[in-house]
Amino acid sequence: MLVELSEELRELIGTRVERVSPEDYPMGDAAGFLRKYVVPSRPAVFRGAVERERWRTSPWANAEYLEERVGDCEVTVAFTPDGYADALVHDKGSGREVFAQPFERTMKFAEFLAALKGREDGGGVPYLSAQNSSLSSELPALLEDCGVDVPFATEAFGSPPEAVNIWIGDERSVTTMHRDHYENLYFVVTGIKTFMLLPPTDSFRLGMRSAPAARYDRGLKLDVEDPLRLVRWCPIYPNSPPSAYGPGPPPMQVTVRAGEALYLPAMWLHAVSQASDEDGHPCIAINYWYGMDMCHTYPYVSFCEKLTRVV
Amino acid sequence: MLVELSEELRELIGTRVERVSPEDYPMGDAAGFLRKYVVPSRPAVFRGAVERERWRTSPWANAEYLEERVGDCEVTVAFTPDGYADALVHDKGSGREVFAQPFERTMKFAEFLAALKGREDGGGVPYLSAQNSSLSSELPALLEDCGVDVPFATEAFGSPPEAVNIWIGDERSVTTMHRDHYENLYFVVTGIKTFMLLPPTDSFRLGMRSAPAARYDRGLKLDVEDPLRLVRWCPIYPNSPPSAYGPGPPPMQVTVRAGEALYLPAMWLHAVSQASDEDGHPCIAINYWYGMDMCHTYPYVSFCEKLTRVV
pLDDT tens for residues A240-290? 998 899 888 899 999 999 999 999 999 999 999 999 988 888 999 999 999
Burial per residue of A89-104, b for 16 or more beta-carbon CB atoms within 10 angstroms, e otherwise: bebeeeeebbbbbbbe
**Whole-number percent of chain B with pLDDT over 90:** 71
Distance CA A274, CA A196 (A): 12
Minimum Cα–Cα distance from B28: chain A residue: A31
For residues B133-147, b (16+ Cβ closer than 10 Å) or e, as one string? bbbbebbeebeebbb
Smallest CA–CA separation between B296 and chain A, in Å? 5
Instruction: Please report the pLDDT score of residue A27 as a whole number.
Output: 65
Mean pLDDT, chain A, whole residue set:
91
Check: complex ipTM more than 0.95: no
Nearest CA in chain B to A7: B299
Across the interface, whether the CB atoms of A299 and B31 are under 8 A apart is answered: no
Distance CA A133, CA A287 (A): 9
Q: What percent of chain A has pLDDT over 90?
A: 71
Query: pLDDT, tens digit, for every residue of B32-45?
Result: 999 889 888 899 99
At A149-180, the pLDDT tens digits run 999 999 999 999 999 999 999 999 999 999 99
Residue of B nearest to A38 (CA): B39
- Closest to A35 (Cβ–Cβ): which among B11, B12, B158? B158
pLDDT of residue A119: 72
Taking the domain B2-310, which CATH number applies?
2.60.120.10
Q: At what angle do helices B2-13 and B298-310 cross, to 10 degrees?
A: 150
pLDDT for residue A121: 67
pLDDT digits (tens, 9 = 90+) for B147-181: 999 999 999 999 999 999 999 999 999 999 999 98
* Contact list, B15 vs chain A (CB under 8 Å): none
Q: Which residues on A lie below 8 Å from B296 (Cβ)? A: 12, 39-41, 296-297
* Facing B300 at nearest CB: one of A11, A300, A306: A300
Spell out which residues of chain A touch residue B201, defining contact as CB-CB under 8 Å.
Answer: 299-300
For residue A299, pLDDT beyond 60: yes
Between B12, B34, B293, which is nearest A34 by CB? B34
Give the whole-angstrom CA distance, residue A129 versus residue B63. 70
Q: Is the pTM of this model over 0.80?
A: yes
Residues B215-230: what's their mean pLDDT? Answer: 95
For the cut 50, the answer to whether the pLDDT of residue B245 exceeds it is: yes
Q: How confident is the model at residue B72 (pLDDT cuts 50, 70, 90)?
A: very high
